[in-house]
Amino acid sequence: MPRVAPQYSSSDWRGCGSSPASRRLPLARNVLEIVHRQFIAPITVLGSGIPAIDHITGIGGYPRGRITELFGTASSGKSALALACCLNTAALGLTVVWIDLEHSLTAKLPLDPGPSARDILLLEPHTAEDAVDMAAILLERANIDLLVMDSAIVMNPSRRPEGMPFNMARAEMVGRALRKLTTLVTRRHCVMLFLSRSYLMAVPASVASIGGGALRSFASLRLKTTQEQLAMDEGDPSSFAVRVRVVKNKLAPPEREALLYYSLADGTLTEEPPAMVAEQPEEEPWP
């Protein structure tokens, strides 16, 4: 026998209006109001400490209430870029927290960081789970303006399922951390800088972050650092250029670049190229 589609009368929609269309109207109106409020709400930012970086972000710095990923190859200026923001934020009297999973911040500090470096709260957890718990507790109980997570490459879970590769376990750990911290970062209205390492994918030939797909999805702003133009001074490397490119930006047009210079002598990251060593004039031979 052919099946007959059931017939519904308007009386079946109890408490929801006379028709399905009228039931959907209030929900659609609420969604449009939420989207409208998000577009007209002013975007508050935190200065990066480097005017060139503030310019390429398109909004004047790192957005508050969102996650910003700084990724690149080893020794490409990621930590120096985050430290510039930390020192600038601490100098303004705001609260800065650096969660150092690599236990290497003291070696990355500039030669003369200034008095504002004393105001940075440094935490050195031993496991990735401890780092996430520390960040969650601080975001729930303290007024934090800047939180730095350093870094995704060492966020290995203490217990890895048998047979699961290390890279998959690390990406899953980063995903769990982001799902837990994203809401707290938005509620606290702070800036979160998540440092990560990049690697070259075989197929397709593109550069990806070690944090996995979760970090690419949760981050509203992604900056990629690349080391270029190594300068030598009397046979020893003295500085190198750092190219910073905006890979993803939900608040402004992406694909903007800035060229910075990192000095190996004092560990500072500036816009101006290092001064060349002046050549000593040759002495005239004795007659």
**Bridging pattern class, strands 96-100 and 62-63:** unpaired
| pLDDT above 90 coverage of the chain, percent | 59
- Determine the pLDDT at residue 16: 45
Per mean pLDDT, which range of 5-9, 165-169, 243-247, 254-258 is the poorest? 5-9
Helix, coil or strand: residue 67: strand
- Determine the pLDDT at residue 173: 94
| Angstrom distance (rounded) from CA 39 to CA 189 | 17
pLDDT digits (tens, 9 = 90+) for 115-153: 889 999 999 999 999 999 999 999 999 999 999 999 999
Q: Is CATH 3.40.50.300 correct for 42-270?
A: yes
Range 241-246 average pLDDT: 96
- Determine the pLDDT at residue 121: 96
**287 has a pLDDT exceeding 70:** no
Range 43-69 average pLDDT: 96
Range 158-163 average pLDDT: 85
Per mean pLDDT, which range of 24-33, 173-182, 229-238 is the poorest? 24-33
Backbone angles phi, psi at 243, to 5 degrees: -95, 125
Quick one: pLDDT band at residue 42, thresholds 50, 70, 90? confident
Please tell me the chain's helix, strand, coil percentages from 3-state DSSP, rounded to the nearest 5.
Answer: 35, 25, 40
| Angstrom distance (rounded) from CA 142 to CA 95 | 9
**Pick the residue with more confidence: 195 or 25?**
195
Helix, coil or strand: residue 199: strand
In whole angstroms, what separates CA 20 from the centre of its chain? 44
- Determine the pLDDT at residue 210: 82
- Determine the pLDDT at residue 37: 64
pLDDT digits (tens, 9 = 90+) for 180-190: 999 999 999 99
**214 has a pLDDT exceeding 50:** yes
Q: How far is CA 240 from CA 35, 134, 225, in A?
A: 44, 35, 12
- Determine the pLDDT at residue 235: 75
**Pick the residue with more confidence: 175 or 33?**
175
Range 69-88 average pLDDT: 94
Quick one: pLDDT band at residue 280, thresholds 50, 70, 90? very low
| Angstrom distance (rounded) from CA 264 to CA 112 | 13
Please say whether the beta carbons of 59 and 68 come within 8 A. Answer: no
- Determine the pLDDT at residue 279: 41
**23 has a pLDDT exceeding 70:** no
**63 has a pLDDT exceeding 50:** yes
